[in-house]
Structure 1
Amino acid sequence: MRIVVLATSLAFLLLSGSAFAADEKPLPPPNAKKLSEIIAKVEQRNDFHYVKEVDWDSGVYTVTYYTSDKAKVEISYDPVTGETK
């Protein structure tokens, strides 16, 4: 009985692995700036207080940060040039 349960579990894990691989987001291009360089640019912005979140989606980094007066700011950066989009 244990062997059947183990075999079924193993088969499920092997078959579901390919479904998870399809959900992977594409990586930044090889010539992309380091994320730390982009974050350093964000930290130099006027009234910067702290970074809340960084997301990689649709070929850009989207950085969400808050200013010292508690305003939420979302800004997108080109990964290769490091410039805002």
Structure 2
Amino acid sequence: MSKRMAILALGIWAGLTAAAYSQDTKNNPKPEAGKKPSVVLSEIESRPDFARLDSMSWKDKGYYEIEYRTTDKARVEINIDASSGVAVDQD
């Protein structure tokens, strides 16, 4: 392979990689795009059976993954859509 062909191939590869990365980051919403974590957590804490928070984390698919305990010690796992604040079924 000539030097020019190698440079051309590298340029094409770099362009495709950048485009794929750009597309991938556009499809992954950021937490800042929706409800603040404090607002989501406040809504969870206001549930009548809420006892304590075990964990809360952001998932790149656009939802918060929350685990908490109820007053009867049951463990609840729930995913809350960041933009709407509604529970969603996600993996």
TM (norm. structure 1) is 0.63
> Partners of 2:53 and 2:30 in 1: how far apart?
20
Question: Which 4+ runs in 1 deviate beyond 3 A?
Answer: none
Q: Which runs of 5+ in 2 are unaligned?
A: 1-27
Q: Secondary structure at the match of 2:86?
A: coil
> Partners of 1:76 and 1:30 in 2: how far apart?
17
Deviation of 1:47 (Å): 1.0
Aligned to 1:49: 51
> Partners of 2:56 and 2:32 in 1: how far apart?
19
Aligned to 1:62: 65
What's the RMSD between the two structures over aligned residues? 1.6
- 8 Å CA contact retained: 2:31, 2:58: no
Aligned to 2:38: 36
Instruction: From 78, 81, 85, give the equivalent of 1:82.
Output: 85
1:71 maps to 2:85: no
Deviation of 1:82 (Å): 1.2
Deviation of 1:27 (Å): 6.0
Q: Which runs of 5+ in 1 are unaligned?
A: 1-25
Deviation of 1:60 (Å): 1.0
Count of residue correspondences: 60
> Partners of 1:37 and 1:29 in 2: how far apart?
12
Taking structure 1 as reference, are residues 37 and 44 closer, same or farther at Cα in structure 2, changes over 3 Å only? same
Deviation of 1:45 (Å): 1.2
